[in-house]
Amino acid sequence: MANSPPGHALGTDAEWPILLHRAGFTVDYLAVDGLEWESSARYEQQAGDLGTRRRAADAYDEDAQHWAFRVQVALDIVQAGLAATQRALIR
């Protein structure tokens, strides 16, 4: 935690694996299925079946602002990961 500055919660997707690797931990992964469109769980009653979820996801994807947000999130993740490769570690 001391090596991960506050304020970059999304960046931890890249930052923490890099910091763990640099600290000598073995980094691995677990492949999973079922992480499709994230909002269906929040709106389960309205988006309970696959067709309804697909229509909601398609409508969401039609808005360019949502894509701009996704690009910004990806950029934040990459920048946090790159910063983690260069940051001096507190041991």
Task: Dump pLDDT digits (tens) for 68-79.
Answer: 999 999 999 999
What are the boundaries of each domain within the chain? 8-27+47-91
Q: Which amino acid is at 1?
A: M
In this prediction, residue 36 carries a pLDDT of: 60
In this prediction, residue 57 carries a pLDDT of: 84
pTM of the model: 0.70
Q: What is the CA radius of gyration of the chain?
A: 17
- Grade residue 38 by pLDDT with cuts at 50, 70 and 90: low
Task: Dump pLDDT digits (tens) for 44-68.
Answer: 666 567 787 788 889 989 999 999 9
How many residues does this entry show for the chain? 91
Q: Which tokens sit at 6?
A: 């506050």
pLDDT of 90 > 60? The answer is yes
